[in-house]
Amino acid sequence: MSNDASSLTAQDLEFLRRPLHGFLSVAEGPVPPQPRPVWFEATAEGTIQLFTAPDSLKVRRLRRDPRASIVVAAPVGERERWLSVAGRVSVESDGAHELCARLAARYWDLDDPARADDLAEILATEQIRLVIHPETVNRFTF
């Protein structure tokens, strides 16, 4: 395992640009973390962003304590590899629908009418963008 205190490497960004699920955990004092699978995007600036409904439990928790982490692992059949990014989260009111559309194209076959309808349904609702600003990055490759 290696630890680079605060930044993502070029190899990290390459790994994170794959259509993998991340497991997001938000801080909540004495309540144990309860990771949730999420779509995410690693930005050129080295942040991790995702979208969610503005009234979601994760947003309510982040407004009280803006710390979160995301863990991404390689799928079964590949050599073991995972990456963990932890840091403060900013809640952004702009760019969520554009992010959602990019991620849907990455994770779904939008030529499938059912998936296209799913995306349209999400885009018809209010969404916000969560941005994790890395403070600690841990990685493991075996």
The per-type count for the chain, helices as H runs and strands as E runs, is: 4, 8
Give the model confidence (pLDDT) of 5-63 as tens digits: 678 999 999 999 999 999 999 987 777 778 999 999 999 999 999 999 999 999 999 99
122: enclosing H helix or E strand:
helix 113-123
pTM: 0.90
Calpha distance 65→19 (Å, rounded): 28
Task: Give me the count of residues in the chain.
Answer: 142
First to last CA, the chain: 9
Give the model confidence (pLDDT) of 91-123 as tens digits: 999 999 999 999 999 999 999 999 999 999 999
Domain range list for the chain: 2-141
Q: Which CATH class is domain 2-141?
A: mainly beta
